[in-house]
Amino acid sequence: MAEPVSVSREVAAPPEEVWALVSDLTRMGEWSPEARGGRWAGGTDGPSVGAVFKGRNRNGRYRWRTNVAVIECDPPRRFAFRLDIPLMGGCDWVYDIEPTGNGCRVTESWIDRRKRSLVFVGRVLSGVADRATHNRAGMEQTLDRLAEHLAA
C-alpha cells in the first residue's frame, strides 16, 4: 500500500461548521473538481457509520459513479468514507479537523488500497494515470474552495 496523500489548510471557521460541510457528500461537488455530488442511499439522509452514498464523478470527458460507505463519523473531528470493490480493493477518503486559534485546520487524506486490477480499470474509466498526483492537486483545490466558501 502506498503512503497516504494528504493536504492541510487553515480555515477561518469553527470545526463544527467545517465538519458539517465535508460530511455532507451531496455538496462535495461545490468544492471538489472531480466529485459532482450524489445522494445518500437506503433511506439514509446524512452521514453515519455504515451509511452508503452513491456518488457521481467527472474528469473532463470521463464520467463514472461510485458507491462509498461511511467508516468514521466523529463530529466535529473526523469524517471518513471508503470505496471498496470486491477483489479489487479501493481507497479511503479522510477529513481530520483540529481547532486552532483562528478557526481550524482541515486535513484531507486519500489512502490508496487499490489492487493492480483497479488501478487499470480506474485509469480507463477516469482518464487518470497518476492518481496520487491527480488527487493531491484536486485536494488542494477542494480545500481552497471550501475555505473561500467559509470566508464569504
Angle at CA of residue 105, ends 128 and 112, nearest 5°: 30
- Tell me which amino acid residue 112 is: D
* Domains: count for the chain: 1
Angle (CA) 106-29-55 rounded to 5° is: 105
1-15, 20-34, 55-69, 137-151: lowest mean pLDDT where?
1-15
Name the strand (E) or helix (H) holding 136.
Answer: helix 131-151
pLDDT in tens, 122-150: 999 999 999 999 999 999 999 999 999 99
Helix (H) or strand (E) holding 148: helix 131-151
Residue 145 CB partners (closer than 8 Å, separation 6+): 30, 31, 32
The phi, psi pair for 96, rounded to 5°, reads -110, 135
Rg (CA), the chain: 15
Whether the predicted pLDDT of 59 surpasses 70: yes
Q: What is the CATH number of the domain that holds 26?
A: 3.30.530.20
pTM for the full model?
A: 0.95
- The beta strand positions in 30-88, using DSSP E, are 35-40, 52-59, 62-74, 78-85
Domain containing residue 112: 5-151
